[in-house]
Amino acid sequence: MPMLCRKLFLLGAFWFAADFLAAAQPNFLVIVTDDQRPDTIGALGNPRIETPNLDWLVKHGQSWSNFVCSNPLCVPSRAEILTGCTGFRNGVVGLGGERMNPKLTLWPAAMTTGGYHAWYCGKWMNDGQPTTRGYQETQALFSAGGGTWKKEQVVRGRKGRPITGYRNWTFKDAQGKADLTKGIGLTPLTDRQIGDGAVAFLKRKTERPFFLHVNFTGPHDPLIYPPGYEQKYTATKMKLPENFLPRHPFDHGNLTGRDEKLLPWPRTREAVLEELAVYYAVVDHIDRQVGRMLDQLRADGRLANTVVIFTSDHGLALGSHGLMGKQNMYDHSIRVPFIIAGPGVVPGRRVPAFGYLRDLYPTVCEMAGIAIPKTVQGRSLANILKGQQHNVHPFAVGYFRNVQRMIWMEEWKLIYYPKLDRTQLFNLADDPAELNDLAESPVRKARLDRMRHSLKQWFHDQGDPQFLQ
């Protein structure tokens, strides 16, 4: 074969192979809520909430019981998702004003390099804008700024309480201009409008596979009943959390934070049940938006080749342990719901392995046949999803600013409070509600010492200032 013809043949074979690979690559729909406790899905054991679409995903996919957000605060948690790294590596630990390390390859950039359409829909809390961080297009973009509420203006919501979350947040067009016709701050229809944007993306017929990242605002406060839900969920139908307390027994480092001011001290049974009712209504409403996306994928025949991931940036206390916010290391806050369904996932499994939100990035890359960037710190979970491996993490860790550190090994969890030099130790097998602190038990001293050593070593290796002295 003449040299020129050989080169043309090889070039043609290369493009044919590339086209075949692109056609075989699955689509990815990644759905992230805000402040969703891990115990808010019907199929996973909560009879008081209706989540038929999430239940369908549980049945046809995998649900993980030990999935961890690592840093339970919106901005740093989402930075871990975008970078695939811990806050100590990506530069965002939640101290305010931090920017993601520009030397890191962000998740959407890796996906577009791998041949994907990278689309973003919903709330944005990190520095820059989605289209400056690797996403090619946005729909229903919801971000800070653009509203008309004055700084000193008190805007009140349900029960006459001041609204402190999402003040002056607005929907933006592709040029960043605010659309005030959709409201300022959270409204009863914010998540519906985000769902509209996601469905609009899914209606597109594209030759390349898509990577659609959808971020809902709910069930973050201010909690507002979606239309038609006012009677479906009421305080009389709710059940108080097993670990409800009127107040936390000590200052865990965030008792004066914004979230903890949402209800007065001491927390009362009546107030918490009322909050739970609206919270469940918002989760139910989000489930409907998930259903709309699944229906659209079914209608155009793409659901079979789409990996659907559902999770949250962190959980929420909502009365558990006397707290309202997520800024703690207890199960209801540090653990998140995680469901994944689609090609490459053995269906119908409940997986006990540890996983982190920062693992989503490398996992999706491997499932898509995309090289995982060297800057990524997370671990791919693809072999676990295929049933070929049991775990990739020997334990899980968590941290909040400079006031809390956690390590979770098998059924044991140790929480350390550096500013107080105080430790808690819980046996999660016997005490899943984390009410019986065993840190002072002489019988558990050896275990406590081993876990404390492992905790200090891990955080030291990460460059955590708390353990570099």
- Number of structural domains found in the chain: 2
Domain boundary among 376, 394, 412: 394
- Per-residue pLDDT at 13 exceeds 60: no
Residues 6+ apart with CB under 8 A from 278: 158, 223, 224, 225, 233
Flag whether 228 is in a domain.
yes
Flag whether 9 is in a domain.
no
Question: Which bin fits 128, alpha (ψ -120 to 50), beta or left (φ > 0)?
Answer: left
Average pLDDT, the chain: 93
Cα dist from 286 to 181, 188, 221, 364, 419, whole Å? 21, 11, 14, 23, 38
Helices 190-202 and 269-299: crossing angle, nearest 10°? 20
Cα dist from 393 to 316, 353, 372, 402, whole Å? 24, 8, 18, 24
Each residue of 149-180: pLDDT tens digit?
998 899 998 988 899 999 999 999 888 899 99
Decide: pTM greater than 0.85.
yes
Is 140:197 a contact under the CB 8 Å cutoff?
yes
DSSP 154-199: --B-GGGPBP-SSTT-EEE-TT--EEGGG-SS--TTHHHHHHHHHH
Each residue of 225-277: pLDDT tens digit?
999 999 999 999 999 999 999 999 999 999 999 999 999 999 999 999 999 99
pLDDT at 429: 97
Do residue 160 and residue 305 come from a single domain?
yes
pLDDT at 170: 97
Q: Which domain holds residue 456?
A: 402-469
CATH number reported for the structural domain that contains residue 289 in this entry = 3.40.720.10
pLDDT at 437: 98
DSSP 374-427: TT--S---HHHHTTS-S-S-SSEEEEETTTEEEEEETTEEEEEETTTTEEEEEE
Do residue 183 and residue 277 come from a single domain?
yes
Each residue of 378-431: pLDDT tens digit?
999 999 999 999 999 999 999 999 999 999 999 999 999 999 999 999 999 999
The Cα–Cα gap between 468 and 244 comes to: 36
Each residue of 118-148: pLDDT tens digit?
999 999 999 999 999 999 999 999 999 999 9
Do residue 385 and residue 413 come from a single domain?
no
Do residue 338 and residue 309 come from a single domain?
yes
Do residue 42 and residue 102 come from a single domain?
yes
- Per-residue pLDDT at 5 exceeds 50: no
Q: Which two tokens stand for residue 167?
A: 């003040």
Residues 6+ apart with CB under 8 A from 241: 272, 318, 319, 320, 332, 433
Radius of gyration of the chain (CA): 23
Do residue 111 and residue 127 come from a single domain?
yes
Domain boundary among 360, 394, 428: 394
- pLDDT range class, residue 4, cuts 50, 70, 90: very low
CATH number reported for the structural domain that contains residue 459 in this entry = 3.30.1120.10
The Cα–Cα gap between 87 and 101 comes to: 10
Over range 27-41, report the average pLDDT: 98
The Cα–Cα gap between 327 and 314 comes to: 9
- Per-residue pLDDT at 3 exceeds 50: no
Residue 137 belongs to what H/E stretch? strand 137-143
**Phi and psi dihedrals of 446, rounded to 5?**
-65, -45
Nearest to 83 by CA among 395, 458, 465, 360: 360
The Cα–Cα gap between 430 and 88 comes to: 33
Do residue 104 and residue 165 come from a single domain?
yes
- pLDDT range class, residue 17, cuts 50, 70, 90: very low
Q: Which two tokens stand for residue 261?
A: 């001011």
Question: Which bin fits 344, alpha (ψ -120 to 50), beta or left (φ > 0)?
Answer: left
Do residue 344 and residue 378 come from a single domain?
yes
The Cα–Cα gap between 21 and 32 comes to: 28
Do residue 333 and residue 353 come from a single domain?
yes
Over range 296-301, report the average pLDDT: 96
Do residue 257 and residue 342 come from a single domain?
yes
The Cα–Cα gap between 458 and 70 comes to: 13
Do residue 422 and residue 327 come from a single domain?
no
Flag whether 369 is in a domain.
yes
- pLDDT range class, residue 22, cuts 50, 70, 90: very low
Domain boundary among 333, 359, 394: 394
Cα dihedral 56, 58, 60, 65, rounded to 10, equals 180
Q: Quick one: three-class SS letters along 6-32?
A: HHHHHHHHHHHHHHHHHHHCCEEEEEE
